[in-house]
Amino acid sequence: MQITGAAQHEAWQARTLPPVEQLRPDLWSVPVPIPHNPLRYVSVYAMALEGGGLGLIDTGWGAEESWVALTEGLGSIGAEVEDVRGVLVTHMHFDHIGLAERVRQASGAWVALHPADAGRISDPRGRDPELAVAGEVEFLVSLGADRAEAVTDVGPPEAMRPFTQSAVPDRLLEDGDLADLPGWSLRAVHTPGHTPGHLCFAEERTGLFFSGDHVLPRITPNVSSSALGDPDPLRDFLASLERVGRQDPQEVLPAHEWRFRGLPERTAQLIEHHEHRLAELLTAVREHPHSTPWQLAAHLTWSRPWEQYARRMRIFAVTETDAHLRLLASRGLVRGSDDVVRTWTPAVR
């Protein structure tokens, strides 16, 4: 792998926000901060359109400081939000779609998303904070959480409310569709796993590959099970990695961290990481049979001691463990019980 986003990389090491950068005569990266999040920022990509106006890939977190960064970033390239004609959203997470509705209201731009993520956003269980909280609590209980801990980790409906108001897209993009951004040839590449409808965009004119969260240069994105998600998200993610890893674009432009070259090498690293994780989890199941995902997560290696995990971090860890268990089960290596709270044992071979 070769780092091409040198300024982004230097800013990451310095724990500062990188600058707005002009990447091509008609393309810019605009860093939009994510408040109180270790990912720090989303790279919003702004592209000048043939005939005037701008297209965006992603918009940033739905917060006032993020909005200010987006508008000031566009202002630094001689543009404004009102110039936006269309927004391509890589996936439904709030740091990518959070400002899409505000951009649409300010500019009249259309918002495009894959149907699988559009369906999740439109689902009544995801639009009502009370239902969203209740559904997540019940799902965590089914993974072995104590109900009181699950309620604490999920938090109150008031805190969930912003996440239930994401923009419902005007347009849907399927795998292989060309985005309606004049002067560009951006082809949608469906890469499920991180979310069911995650999209990358391959720019056929320049050889650029906008990878969203699917392929990042330093970390692997969270791949988790959920009450409304696909039954085997990690299998989907690994298959998506293998698919895009057969390409070798001129440059990879991810949504976080820094730009790079070497997509085949990076996808191979990510696949190897998850295979190592699957092996570690299989050992934990063998050593602790009849355990729940909540219990098994405590026996895995994390970036900090398990006792320090709580709230959303613990939710991500447990649901990621459950996604790995589902893939082990589909490979015939473990078996889940038929109980409401499923426990896992090694498969009899």
What does 98-142 look like in DSSP terms, one character per residue? TTHHHHHHHH--EEEE-HHHHHHHH-HHHHSHHHHHHHHHHHHHH
Residue 158 has φ and ψ, to the nearest 5°, of: -60, -40
Band of pLDDT at residue 262, cut at 50, 70 and 90: very high
Q: What is the spatial distance between Cα 4 and Cα 13, in angstroms, rounded to a whole number?
A: 15
What percentage of the chain carries pLDDT values higher than 90?
Answer: 96
Q: What is the pLDDT of residue 179?
A: 97
Give the mean pLDDT of 275-292.
98
The 8 Å CB, 24+ separation contacts for 244-248 are 244/189, 244/191, 244/200, 244/209, 244/211, 244/214, 244/215, 245/271, 247/202, 247/209
User: Which SS3 state, helix, strand or coil, does residue 3 take?
Assistant: strand
Residue in 182, 178, 230 with CA at minimum distance from that of residue 204: 178
pLDDT value for 95 = 97
How do the domains of the chain map onto residue ranges?
A: 2-124+160-262
Tens digit of each residue's pLDDT (9 = 90 or more) over 302-341? 989 999 999 999 999 999 999 999 999 999 999 999 999 9
Percent of the chain with pLDDT over 70: 100
Q: Is the pLDDT of residue 228 over 90?
A: no
- Count of alpha carbons within 13 angstroms of residue 27, beta-carbon side: 16
- pTM comes to 0.96
Closest CA to 62 of 116, 102, 16: 102
pLDDT for 194 equals 97
Mean pLDDT of 211-227: 96
How much is the pLDDT for 33? 97
- CA separation for the pair 245, 264 (Å, rounded): 4
Mean pLDDT of the chain: 96
pLDDT(257) > 90:
yes
Residue among 69, 22, 77, 3 at smallest CA distance from 42: 69
Rounded-to-integer distance, Cα 139 and Cα 126, Å: 14
Using the predicted structure, report yes or no on whether residue 213 has a pLDDT greater than 80: yes
Is the predicted pLDDT of residue 253 greater than 90, yes or no?
yes
Q: Is the pLDDT of residue 242 over 90?
A: yes
When mean pLDDT is compared across 83-87, 142-146, 224-228, 267-271, the lowest value belongs to 224-228
What is the structure's pLDDT at 319? 98
Residue range 120-149: average pLDDT? 95
pLDDT given at position 227: 87
The arrangement of secondary structure in 2-124+160-262, i.e. its CATH architecture, is: 4-Layer Sandwich (3.60)
pLDDT given for residue 152 in this prediction: 96
Give residue 156's region: left, alpha or beta (phi > 0; psi -120 to 50): beta
Identify whether the C-beta of residue 28 lies closer than 8 Å to the C-beta of residue 21: yes
pLDDT at 349 over 80: no
In order of 109, 226, 296, 298, 345, the CA distances from 306 in angstroms are 44, 21, 11, 6, 22
Which of 200-204's residues contact partners 24+ apart within 8 Å by CB, and which partners?
200/90, 200/244, 201/57, 201/88, 201/90, 202/247, 202/249
- Taking only the tens place, the pLDDT of each residue in 45-102 is 999 999 999 999 999 999 999 999 999 999 999 999 999 999 999 999 999 999 999 9
The angle that helices 129-142 and 147-154 make with each other, rounded to 10 degrees, is 140
Q: Which residue has the tokens 């399927």?
A: 174
> What is the pLDDT at residue 348?
79
Residue type, 290: H
